[in-house]
Amino acid sequence: MQLDSHIQAIQQDLAATAGLGDEATAEAARRLSEALASTLHLRLLDLLGEAALEIGGQLEAGRVEVRLAGRDPELVVVTDQVPDAGPIGFGEEHSGRITLRLPESLKVSVEAAAAREGISTNAWLVRTIARMVDHRSSKRSRNRLQGYAQG
C-alpha cells in the first residue's frame, strides 16, 4: 500500500483550494503541505494500526498486523497455528490448578467463544493462554520490530 500517493492527493486538494485565493495564499498552502507530509504519513499509519486492531478483534483466530516495507505499509492477516490442546486429563502433565475469577461479562464472552469452537470453556482457556504465551515467546526470538509509531 503506497501512502505517498494518498499524501500527494491531499497536497493537490490543498493546493487547488488555496488556488482560489491570491498568490501568497497558494504559496503558504504549498509550504504547509510540504511541511505536513511526514505528519500525514504518521497519521495514516496510526489509522491503519487502529483499523488492524479493529479488524483483528473481529477475527475468530489470528490478528491483523501492519508491516512496513520501507515507507510502505502492508496489512497482513496472521493466524497462530497452535496445536490443539486436546482433551484435558488429570495426569501428571495436567496437574496444575488455578482459580480464576472473571467479571460476569467476560465470563459470558469466554463461554460463548468456547461454544462457537465446540470445546469446553477450560479447553478454550488452556488453548488461548498457550497461544498467547507461545506468541509472546516467539516474538522475542524473531529479528523484527513490532509496535506502533506515534507522531
pLDDT digits (tens, 9 = 90+) for 76-126: 888 866 555 555 544 456 667 788 888 888 888 889 888 888 888 888 888
Q: Are residues 93 and 120 in the same domain?
A: yes
Q: Are residues 97 and 48 in the same domain?
A: no
Query: pTM of the prediction?
Result: 0.48
Q: Are residues 45 and 116 in the same domain?
A: no
- Give the domain range for residue 13: 1-79
Distance (Å) of CA 26 to CA 15, 16, 51: 6, 8, 34
Distance (Å) of CA 57 to CA 8, 79, 143: 31, 13, 26
What's the number of domains the chain is made of?
Answer: 2
Q: Are residues 35 and 68 in the same domain?
A: yes
* Rounded Cα distance, 92 and 85, in Å: 15
Q: Are residues 74 and 139 in the same domain?
A: no
* Rounded Cα distance, 47 and 63, in Å: 16
Provide the grid cell at 16. 487547488
Q: Are residues 39 and 101 in the same domain?
A: no
